[in-house]
Amino acid sequence: MNKAPFNDQFLRACRGEVTDHTPVWYMRQAGRYQAEYRKIRSKYSFHEMNLNPEVAAEVTRFAVEQLGVDSAILFADIMTPLPSIGVDVEIKSGIGPVIDNPIQSRSDVDRLGELDPLKDIPYVMETIKMLREQLSVPLIGFSGAPFTVASYMIEGGPSKNYYKTKAFMYTDPEGWHQLMNKLGDMTIAYLTAQVKAGAQAVQLFDSWVGALNEADYRTYIAPVMNRIFSSLKELGVPLLMFGVGASHLIQEWNKLPVDVIGIDWRITIKKAREVEGITKPLMGNLEPALLLAPWEVIEERTKEILDQGMEKPGFIFNLGHGVFPQVKVETLQRLTSFVHDYTRKNS
């Protein structure tokens, strides 16, 4: 297969270097908003898609080709490694991950096993190897961060207020730290295996950690996040992180040994840099619901983000959260071209 020359714009932006245009990719760029995805999904369960490297690679690559984005994200889920440590999880369409044996006590934490990625989930690393042969943009590997993964493990499924998770944390801090350490070990093993297989950057999704305040973040979460990122640093690839509704934690994140901070639409790029004093490269942050608005509105709001983003090197355009199933493919295609054209002219 003849590959196009490698597009390194995303990796350059992660390192805070000058780029030819602002690189762009979208969280959940492979998913149900695509007819081609829905067709494949009608033949396999989500888990079966993950198990089959040809299918997972196809879905990953297709999104890149269809949208013209500057990076690929591995098709898998933050729940993918959990069955290997003893947590039965099922992804239910339209609901999300559902777990039949939630963590309720310290003894449930004690029972959790260790992840051996190459033995337990070799198909993920196979997918990565296959993709590296096929792609001409960087491949992002990823994992769920301990708080977000723990929230599903304790609540048993999606939650609005995370009260069971918080009750566990406040009631048994030692058991909580044990859980964070086990999930930290899992994350390090998993992401290390992904990078060794060929992932060129890795992102930690801490989608729901914004439910905590700064002081609790420092006490219950920062230690494990520091350990994860310090350990991954040795791999030499850019490390990214992301959370929803977590602008109040941005200064805590800036202290972690992470390279890129992904933010949602609740804070502007300008405020993150100038008021919060964020020095690291940023990624974000178009409100995903705007993708359902008329193009003129999308364009205006995207320009605002890009004008701020381009003020200094080290900016990656993305949404503030994942693409909704209702979004039209054409909207994302147009948005990708717009970001590229606008930032090429104005940089």
State how far the alpha carbon of 98 is from the alpha carbons of 103, 162, 189, 204, in Å: 13, 15, 24, 21
| Nearest approach, Cβ of residue 41 and ligand CP3 (Å) | 5
Q: Is 37 annotated as a binding residue?
A: no
Q: Which is nearer to ligand CP3, 141 or 175 (CB)?
A: 141
Active-site residue, 38 included: no
Sequence length of the chain is 347
Residue with tokens 């409100």: 287
Q: Which is nearer to ligand CP3, 49 or 305 (CB)?
A: 49
| Nearest approach, Cβ of residue 102 and ligand CP3 (Å) | 15
**Site residues (CB under 6 A) for ligand CP3?**
27-32, 41, 46, 73, 75, 77-78, 91, 93-94, 96-97, 142, 205, 207, 322
Q: Is 220 annotated as a binding residue?
A: no
Given 8, 77, 206, 264, which residue is catalytic? Answer: 77
Q: Is the dihedral of CA 86, 91, 92, 94 positive or negative?
A: positive
Give me the phi and psi of 102, to 5 degrees please.
Answer: -60, 160
Distance in angstroms between the alpha carbons of the first and the last residue of the chain: 34
| Nearest approach, Cβ of residue 147 and ligand CP3 (Å) | 11
Q: Which is nearer to ligand CP3, 79 or 278 (CB)?
A: 79
Strands 201-205 and 260-262: unpaired
State how far the alpha carbon of 329 is from the alpha carbons of 2, 57, 264, 325, 342, in Å: 26, 19, 21, 10, 20
Q: What amino acid is encoded at 220 in this protein? A: Y
Q: Which is nearer to ligand CP3, 147 or 176 (CB)?
A: 147
| Nearest approach, Cβ of residue 96 and ligand CP3 (Å) | 3
Q: Is 207 annotated as a binding residue?
A: yes
How far apart (Å, rounded) are the C-alpha atoms in residues 300 and 305? 9
| Nearest approach, Cβ of residue 347 and ligand CP3 (Å) | 27
Q: Which is nearer to ligand CP3, 46 or 338 (CB)?
A: 46
How far apart (Å, rounded) are the C-alpha atoms in residues 44 and 27? 22
184, exposed or middle or buried, with CB in 10 Å at 0-12, 13-18, 19+?
A: buried
Q: Is 106 annotated as a binding residue?
A: no
Residue whose beta carbon is closest to ligand CP3: 207
> Which stretches does DSSP call E strand in 39-80?
72-73
Active-site residue, 152 included: yes
> Which stretches does DSSP call E strand in 231-272?
239-242, 260-262
Q: Which is nearer to ligand CP3, 244 or 306 (CB)?
A: 244
Is 75 in a helix, a strand, or coil?
Answer: coil
Containing H/E element for 167? helix 163-171
Tokens (6 digits) for 95: 């609901």
Active-site residue, 8 included: no
Given 12, 33, 37, 41, which residue is catalytic? Answer: 41
| Nearest approach, Cβ of residue 303 and ligand CP3 (Å) | 25
Q: Is 31 annotated as a binding residue?
A: yes
How far apart (Å, rounded) are the C-alpha atoms in residues 3 and 24? 20
Q: Is 321 annotated as a binding residue?
A: yes
Q: How large is the angle between the packed helices 53-67 and 35-43, nearest 10 degrees?
A: 170
Active-site residue, 41 included: yes
| Nearest approach, Cβ of residue 322 and ligand CP3 (Å) | 4
Q: Which is nearer to ligand CP3, 144 or 175 (CB)?
A: 144
Active-site residue, 273 included: no
Q: Is 47 annotated as a binding residue?
A: no
* Residues contacting residue 332 through CB under 8 Å, at least 6 positions apart: 26, 29, 33, 67, 291, 323
Query: Which residues belong to the annotated binding site for substrate?
Result: 28-32, 77, 152, 207, 321
Active site residues: 28, 32, 41, 77, 152
